[in-house]
Structure 1
Amino acid sequence: MTRIVAAAVIVALAGPVAADGVVTYPVEGSFEDAAFAVENAIIERGLVVDFVSHVGAMLARTGADVGSEVALFEAADVYLFCAAVTSRNVMEADRMNIAHCPYGIFVADTGDEVMIGYRSFPEGPMQEAQALLDEIARDASGN
């Protein structure tokens, strides 16, 4: 029985963590390796990274300006991209799904862990886009 419980805990820890509309996957390795893996996972699907937002650097640079000494991340980037087929499908179902585009996958190093994640989408047509993000995040994180 102890082995079953231990195995369940290991499986649970290796899987995605979903909280407050965010899905994350733990990464074994460095921030740089995870960032490289995310970019490759996007490109390997024939997609183009439109922009990389260096959120961690911005927060570190502006902390003192806003009166904070809290270091939120060692590093954190958000990779923004679009997927023509997926975007057309979800927007043909509901034009207001434009609010969810472009799609973003983040890589963050909290100092305690490196993770890859994305914001979850509402039920319905946007689940097609969420499935794409999940596939990319799983591939890049090795989960």
Structure 2
Amino acid sequence: MPRFVTALAIALALNLMPVAHADDIVHQRLNTSDYTTARIAVTDAIIDEGLRVASVSNFGEMLARTDADLHHGATPYRHAEVFAFCSIQVAALLVSEAPERIAYCPLTIALYQLVEEPGHPVHILFHPPGGQSPGALAGLDVLNRIVGRVQQNFPPPN
């Protein structure tokens, strides 16, 4: 009986989770097709965390621009950007654990829309720092808080 209860609890938890994990990427679909508003929500959420956006990489535009020379195929994105930012508290924890953990800095959040996806919902995702160390968990916490703030701007329909 305990195994059944455990299996049932795990099955229910997996079915209720709004987060999809592909490898170690945390991916969620926002309840909007308004990319411009979602983009503003991401930058505002980073600022609300007391951080500053260090750079924004227009990934979709880069793919479109380089296809003529590299012939890698058309971009699947309508819009695709990667927002980079740094939390000095997270960075200090990470590198105090191991100098090589500098590779997890800066933290990034990606935002995209697909050309061929019906309704063009906006997707938000991030790659958390690896492991279960205090620095990795602190980075995951910051990323989850930012994504949570963004999601609050786009509540599910009633």
Band the TM-score falls in, shorter-chain normalisation: 0.7 to 0.9
State the TM-score, normalized to the length of structure 1. Answer: 0.84
Q: Which amino acid aligns with 2:26?
A: V
Deviations 1:10-33 (A, max 9, x none): 844xx1111022111111221111
SS in 2 for 1:122: coil
- Runs of 4+ displaced beyond 6 Å: 7-10
Cα distance change on mapping 1:9 and 1:92 into 2, 3 Å: closer
Structure 1: 5+ residue runs without aligned partners? 1-6
Is residue 94 of structure 2 the alignment partner of residue 94 of structure 1?
Answer: no
Question: Match of 2:88?
Answer: 84
Distance 1:138 1:34 in 2: 12
Cα distance change on mapping 1:26 and 1:97 into 2, 3 Å: same
Match of 1:23 among 11, 22, 26: 26
Cα distance change on mapping 1:32 and 1:10 into 2, 3 Å: farther
Distance 2:15 2:61 in 1: 33
Structure 2: 5+ residue runs without aligned partners? 1-11
Distance 1:10 1:129 in 2: 26
Is residue 137 of structure 2 the alignment partner of residue 127 of structure 1?
Answer: yes
SS in 1 for 2:77: coil
Distance 1:103 1:17 in 2: 19
State the TM-score, normalized to the length of structure 2. Answer: 0.77
User: Which fold has the larger relative contact order, with Cα–Cα distance below 8 Å and residues 6 or more apart in sequence?
Assistant: 1
Deviations 1:62-100 (A, max 9, x none): 122212442320000111010011111222122221111
Percent pairwise identity: 27
Give the aligned CA root-mean-square deviation in angstroms.
2.1
